[in-house]
A = this chain, B = another copy of it.
Amino acid sequence: MPSPLRFHFDFSSPYGYLASERIEALAARHGRAVDWRPMLLGAVFKIAGTQPLTSVPLKGDYTRRDLPRSARFHGIEFRMPSTFPIATQAPARIVVWQRSVDPGGCAAIVRALYRAYFVENRDISNADVAADAAATTGVSRDGARAAIDDPAIKDALRRDVDAAIAAGVFGSPFVFVDDEPFWGLDRFEQIDRWLAQGGF
């Protein structure tokens, strides 16, 4: 059984959202599953001395134009949220909790949370909003809400983020195919060829 594609993403990352809508089909084409790894880019920004794309002079204006264009190019519904960026501990912890209960449910939860933010313009940094969005997939609303304040889940997310950074993750989306790192939706074609040919 080949290892799953490890998909690192931040819930506040628009390109992470676009990639989340494509990663499952890409993995499935090659008989792979997806290991959903929410992370907190804020921790990376501190280490790398970088900042959210939209805050960088010049780059910010371009990004606000590139995002809806890239969404149209890939045929993905997208609307820039009115509050951006946001803290993403709440949705990230829900995914960490779901992974501990039933990893198979993560894909639907990630999609529901990401769409709540990048399609429905709902502020998923709010614990109740995040729990409501997760509950639309059929999981327990109370379970999801409780996970956000659960010290064990908080610790697990913190360990995940540290491990991701130690592995070299500095942006979102970031995918590992076995040990090979790929940054960005822009690298999905390289991933496709890498999986088909076993490297190149």
Binding site for B on A (CB under 8 A): 44, 47-50, 56-59, 61-62, 65-66, 69-70, 72-73, 165, 168-171, 181, 183-184, 186-187, 189-190, 193, 200
Contacts and interface: CB of A to CB of B under 8 A. Distances in A.
B44 A168 contact: no
A61 B190 contact: no
12 contacts: A47-B57, A47-B58, A50-B56, A58-B169, A62-B168, A62-B170, A62-B181, A62-B183, A66-B183, A69-B190, A184-B186, A186-B186
Contact of A48 (B58, B72, B189): B58
B44 A48 contact: no
A56 B48 contact: yes
Q: Oligomeric state, in number of copies?
A: 2
A2 B27 CA distance: 41
Contacts of A189: 73
B59 A170 contact: yes
A58 B183 CA distance: 12
A44 to B, nearest CB: 7
Nearest to A57: B48
Given A57-B49, A168-B61, A70 B190 contact: yes
A165 B59 CA distance: 11
A44 B58 contact: yes
Contacts of A59: 48, 50, 170-171
Contacts of A48: 56-59
Contacts of A190: 69-70, 73
A18 to B, nearest CB: 13
Contacts of A200: 69, 72-73
